[in-house]
Chain A
């Protein structure tokens, strides 16, 4: 199980981040991570030929909060307003497995040794899967940054990669947290407000409609896919339990049922199907939900700039009317226009590349998922055939 998820993890790294033009000038990966209580420490390994780095190969320890900090600083950088900023990795969530572990500890006395061992094994596998997923989303974030011509030159990014001690970035305090929350509120309100602003560029108009539509659909699909994989997992769990029960019956009744144990093996396959499906499909959808959010953010920023430009136009008109501060208003208007134009230009580029990237990523993932489905189905088929033969020969 573990080895397989490892494999698929690696595949997936490649697949989700297909947009990475794998040039060897800056290669980042996370070969190792350590989970301490609720903190996860990632070891980031960097291999580069870029002269801006002091060494060509080095490793630094980073925590999840450092990633968030990096993301935030990039978002806040004015310069990048016209770019799709890679979505920040989600917070590591080990609650599920941990809770189960707790339950397992409680139920230890009421279970037989075998059951306990089995449960523990299952849990460990699940924990490992979550852990791997976490590592992987962080890795993808860095890889996307490193593959982007603008972000890879970012100062903060370089610091993040190079500073060989703990970054120990300052955690957001309550006020800032609240501020962030408030900002989000304002932003969504603003979004509604400026949605009324007439779009001047048809490309962006279309893109906006498409993205809004697409994001709601993909969110829906993600939710459904999650549900589906969850029920698939349930089925796999059931197989697991059935195999356990079968085993105990077989242990009791060595003659009649010995051969039926083969059914148990099915469970593992089903499990694998479920986890692969989750990895391939759900994760793809999930990632693009976030990515689309990022694209939407770009659109928002552009729209914001547009609104600013219009506002500045208005002020200029007003100033002209009043004959006061005309120079300043003109300056302001010009600035806004410049900014808007710049944003539009880079946004257009970004969105086009995003589209291409998305299509490629979907293709790759769908192909891989299909291949895996076929592989698993074939495996279970041969397994089933084998067990049927065994049963028939007896």
Chain B
């Protein structure tokens, strides 16, 4: 009892709804009135207490604050997780739960269910009548407990809806209470968040299922008559009303114990949610299908973006070989042009070598990736390509390698600075501005640090396999799947584009050979006009060969490299998901620990060892704090990852669009050239006599 009373009050101050508070108190009172023993052996009693409660307090609630409820249901719900809705049933249940979760479960179910059922059932009926909902509620309660339905209730449809919505909310809250999993968290906003939606939804529900009316009443009367702890009918009726509730109900039972332990942290969190919805909303509502949360984040993003219209231009140019032999390396000129005040001057240039870029990435990923940021990965090391450059052969492939790397580094830096959070990082600024950088040591593939990194990666991979996160968040679930698919498709596409590049190079080679052969043919042709035409054709083919070559490099630089970049980036996105999963795992571990501690405490209580009890309590408090902290961390990381992924998607769409337009333009260009060439040839062909 004590616990429950503790629990229920905190939310209320935040809820800004005194009425509700009163109501809930009343409800609580009502319940306190009904003794625990009663609750324990509920079959006859439980029917009664609810009745009382419903008869009186609900009436109050609804009669006065109806408008309030309507206008602010969401907050209410938010705050009221533990003993959520002022409503009769919930309070009742939350209390008993504390006392004895298992026993309670049965009445719980029964009672809330009736509420839910009643409401919708009645709604359609009374719709026509248009009676004040206040009565309706009470009446309904009576209805199903006592049996005589009050058809004469007149409630305005809106009020009715409100009521039902509220009930809806309550219903959800209950779920929250009993289920500590993130799913619950995410579910919650749905009813509470956009009140309008909920209402309309409810409305439609109600209208669609008028026949439900009969069922629930029957069920309930029956229940009331027989035993309150009749789970099956309750749950079935619930399912008839709203799909999905049913299953949750069952969850409720199975997790009733867990709920107990979770209560307080949840409570805290909920409060927070209510206080700063904007912050926690995205996280909490991650999965909620309701439009509110996503749109909100999107809006945030939009704002951010408009703020981000910064002027920062980075280019990587002048690759230059420094040193000789195997110690040689390529240095690149990194020039920055900006009007941002955070930099000391408007334009500045530094020289950086490849390992500096890698070092930058290492620093950034150390700091940011655990927070769920997508840190753009740099281009891969290529020992083979670099060795070629080092050996210093001036062959085209090494020149291509250098150019390819230069372009990749430029894109990498641009990605880094276009990230609002990464741009603020001092390391980034240092990289762009500082004349001399300390040599990045841990970037060498064969160094000790590299080995350690590999080891870390391996353990990460193993732990990733062992963690079985049952993803409760639909958004993440889908997104993870999407990213996985996308990566696969990208890889496939990349392979194909590579083969396109190769085939086009081949084509260009073959065209060149053909051109030569045609020239030969032309030289041995004895008809002068035809001979000339053939040598012209050879020239045309020669030019076409050039064209193919250019196009091949276009294929490669604008298309293939884009895909390669995004395959790497998708890897980074996956890394973010992994970070989130790790956070989740930490949270779960802490929760398990807390539960163990609780059990230990219960044992101590049972064994009546007060001396150790204090210690156990301390430990519980400690772990509770940890759970809260981890959960918050998880939520933060979820929110960040979500934001990041949305940002990433946007960037991706923009990038792809830009690059593909560029690519198409290059194609267009070569087609134009082709037309020019052939058109020039046409008179020659016609001149053959």
Chain B interface size range: 35 or more
Docked-complex contact A234 and B507, CB < 8 angstroms: yes
Distance between Cα atoms of A374 and B674 in the complex (Å) = 7
Given A225-B514, A367-B685, A381-B671; A374-B500 close (CB under 8 Å): no
B616 near A: Cβ within 8 Å? no
B20 at the interface (CB under 8 A from A): no
* Given known contacts A210-B524, A249-B489, A374-B682, A238 and B517 CB-to-CB distance under 8 angstroms: no
A385 to B521, Cβ gap below 8 A?
Answer: no
Contact A392/B661 with A220-B520, A359-B530 known, Cβ cut-off 8 Å: yes
Which chain B residues numbered 641 to 689 have a C-beta less than 8 Å away from chain A? Answer: 649, 652-653, 656-657, 660-661, 664-665, 667-668, 671-672, 674-675, 678-679, 681-682, 685-686, 688-689
Specify the main secondary structure of chain A where it touches its partner. helix
Interface residues of B in 485-527 (CB under 8 A from A): 485-486, 489-490, 492-493, 496-497, 499-500, 503-504, 506-507, 509-511, 513-514, 516-518, 520-521, 524-527
Is B533 among interface residues, defined by CB-CB distance under 8 A?
yes
Q: Are B527 and A235 in contact (CB under 8 A)?
A: no
Name which residue of chain A comes closest to B548, CB basis: A235
Distance between Cα atoms of A260 and B662 in the complex (Å): 12
Min CB distance A18 to B, Å, is 12
**Contact indicator B664/A377 (Cβ below 8 Å):** no
Residues of chain B contacted by A246 (CB below 8 angstroms): 493
Q: How many A-B residue pairs have CB under 8 A?
A: 162
Given A238-B503, A378-B675, A385-B668, also A370-B682 (CB < 8 A): yes
With A245-B496, A260-B660, A374-B679 as contacts: A359 and B506 at CB distance below 8 Å: no
> Binding site of B, secondary structure by majority: helix, strand, loop or mixed?
helix
A309 at the interface (CB under 8 A from B): no
- Could you tell me the distance between the alpha carbons of A363 and B530 in the complex, rounded to whole angstroms? 7
**Total contacting residues, chain A, CB less than 8 A:** 57
Q: Which listed residue (A214, A224, A252, A362) contacts B489, Cβ 8 A?
A: A252
Q: Which residues does chain A contribute within 8 Å of B497, judged by CB atoms?
A: 238, 242
Across the interface, which residues of B come within 8 angstroms of A6, CB to CB?
none
**Cβ-defined contact, B517 with A221, below 8 A:** yes
Closest to B666 in A: A384
Bound: A248/B514 CA distance, A: 37
Knowing A217-B517, A252-B482 touch, does A266 contact B667 (C-beta < 8 A)?
A: yes
The distance in angstroms between the C-alpha atoms of A245 and B511, with both chains bound, is 28
User: In the complex, which residues of chain B have a beta carbon less than 8 angstroms from the beta carbon of A218?
Assistant: 521
- Do residues A367 and B520 form an inter-chain contact, with CB atoms below 8 A? no
Report A361-375 residues with CB < 8 Å from chain B CB.
362-363, 366-367, 370-371, 373-374
Among A342-394, those with CB < 8 Å from B are 355, 359, 362-363, 366-367, 370-371, 373-374, 377-378, 380-381, 384-385, 387-388, 391-392, 394
- List 30 interface pairs A-B (beta carbons < 8 Å), by A numbering: A220-B517, A220-B520, A224-B513, A224-B514, A227-B514, A228-B507, A228-B513, A234-B499, A238-B496, A238-B503, A245-B493, A245-B496, A255-B653, A256-B653, A257-B656, A259-B657, A260-B657, A260-B660, A262-B664, A359-B530, A362-B533, A363-B685, A366-B688, A367-B682, A371-B682, A377-B675, A378-B675, A385-B668, A388-B665, A388-B668
Further 20 A-B residue pairs, CB within 8 A, beyond A234-B499, A238-B500: A217-B517, A217-B524, A221-B518, A225-B514, A230-B510, A235-B507, A238-B496, A248-B489, A252-B482, A253-B486, A255-B653, A262-B664, A266-B667, A359-B527, A367-B686, A373-B678, A377-B671, A378-B675, A388-B668, A392-B661
Mark B residues whose CB is within 8 Å of A.
Answer: 482, 485-486, 489-490, 492-493, 496-497, 499-500, 503-504, 506-507, 509-511, 513-514, 516-518, 520-521, 524-527, 529-530, 533-534, 537, 649, 652-653, 656-657, 660-661, 664-665, 667-668, 671-672, 674-675, 678-679, 681-682, 685-686, 688-689
